[in-house]
Amino acid sequence: MLDPGQVGVCKVRRGSAGGGLETATFASSVTHIDAMERKPFFHYRPGTPTITLAAPGCSFRCDYCVNFRISQYGRDDESVWNVHPVEADEIVARAAAMGGAVALSYTEPSLAPELTLELARHGRDVGVEVVWKSNGFLTLEAIALCAPAVAAVNIDVKGVDEESHRRLTGASSRPVIEAIRAFREHGTWVEVSTPLIPGVTDPERIAAVLAGISRDIPWHLVRFTPAYRMRDQDPTTPQALAKAADAGRAAGLRYVYVERALGAAGRTTWCPSCQASVLRRGVWSLAENRLEAGHCPDCGTFLEGRW
């Protein structure tokens, strides 16, 4: 609980005189449209057009953050409160008109749960769902509040080693892993992304933890590019991404993806039973969907997802 006027570690929420929290939650720095694959979600409503919003602020302070100009509000002078107001009903109406969804991404959506709840409330009657890209650093109470409003979440797992995770992000990794379990228990579709930072990320350990939760969690391996406080570090090589993808499969994960560096094969969904190609993608777009109500058209196996 914050005292009146006290600002939280997120830097965007403040205690109010009445005992609650105040902040500009109905605000966004961006409003743009792209495909669900761009979030990235590969097993949730492929090809769905998505309006993406992002309000400033994050509970982490990752050294490599490519979005630091909006995520590090209150911590970094280069991050400024540059937003426009968001009317949830208007955003939902725009998404409904194109048969789409609404995503909260680039910064941490759990800092403004009011916006998610309001978007979901308006979206319920018109078939517009809300999805998150999140760092997963939420309490179980916050997940219980938000999960009924979040159809799918892509959680960043940056590491499972406490010490290196704290060094990289400023926070513990344990709640992130717990969030994967909790969102799944609430019925939210969960995918995971991992930025593969040379010399920092341990993909074998992360893959083992994810496979221990479910082998059906899609795992997106993301190439690290030098940014923010890690501008002097080398980018991830395609060889390292291929090795990490192999480690994911060796750990038992059925769906391991690399969006760009390994070409089209890296972003294809293969049937885990007969190995047929069932979903092909361009770079962050859908190219072909052969699934029949989520089943492989060749052998009938159901692939986990929200199709």
Q: Which stretch binds ligand SF4 (CB under 6 A): 9-17, 44-52, 56-64, 256-264?
A: 56-64
For residue 72, the minimal CB distance to ligand SF4 (Å) is: 7
Q: Does 222 bind ligand SF4 (CB under 6 A)?
A: no
- Nearest-CA neighbor of 180 among 200, 156, 145, 208? 156
Residues in region 105-124 near ligand SF4 by CB under 6 A: 107-108
Among 35, 53, 62, 253, binds ligand SF4 (CB under 6 A): 62
* Length of the chain (residues): 307
Among 25, 67, 194, 269, binds ligand SF4 (CB under 6 A): 67
Q: Does 71 bind ligand SF4 (CB under 6 A)?
A: yes
Binding mask 162-201 for ligand SF4 (x = CB under 6 A): -------x--------------------------------
Q: Does 11 bind ligand SF4 (CB under 6 A)?
A: no
For residue 60, the minimal CB distance to ligand SF4 (Å) is: 4
Binding mask 129-158 for ligand SF4 (x = CB under 6 A): ------x--------------------x--
- Residue 177: count of CB within 10 angstroms of its CB: 20
Burial class (CB in 10 A: 0-12, 13-18, 19+), 300: exposed
Gap between the Cα atoms of 83 and 67, Å rounded: 14
- Alpha helix (H) residue ranges in 4-100: 68-71, 88-97
Gap between the Cα atoms of 131 and 151, Å rounded: 6
Gap between the Cα atoms of 23 and 84, Å rounded: 14
Q: Which stretch binds ligand SF4 (CB under 6 A): 63-71, 207-215, 262-270, 284-292?
A: 63-71
Residue with tokens 């228990």: 185
For residue 168, the minimal CB distance to ligand SF4 (Å) is: 8
- Nearest-CA neighbor of 75 among 86, 63, 83? 63
Among 61, 122, 223, 254, binds ligand SF4 (CB under 6 A): 61
Burial 114-142 (b: 16+ CB within 10 A, else e): ebbbbbbebbeeeebbbbbbbbbbbeeee
For residue 281, the minimal CB distance to ligand SF4 (Å) is: 23
User: Residues interacting with ligand SF4, by CB under 6 A?
Assistant: 58, 60-62, 65, 67, 71, 107-108, 135, 156, 169
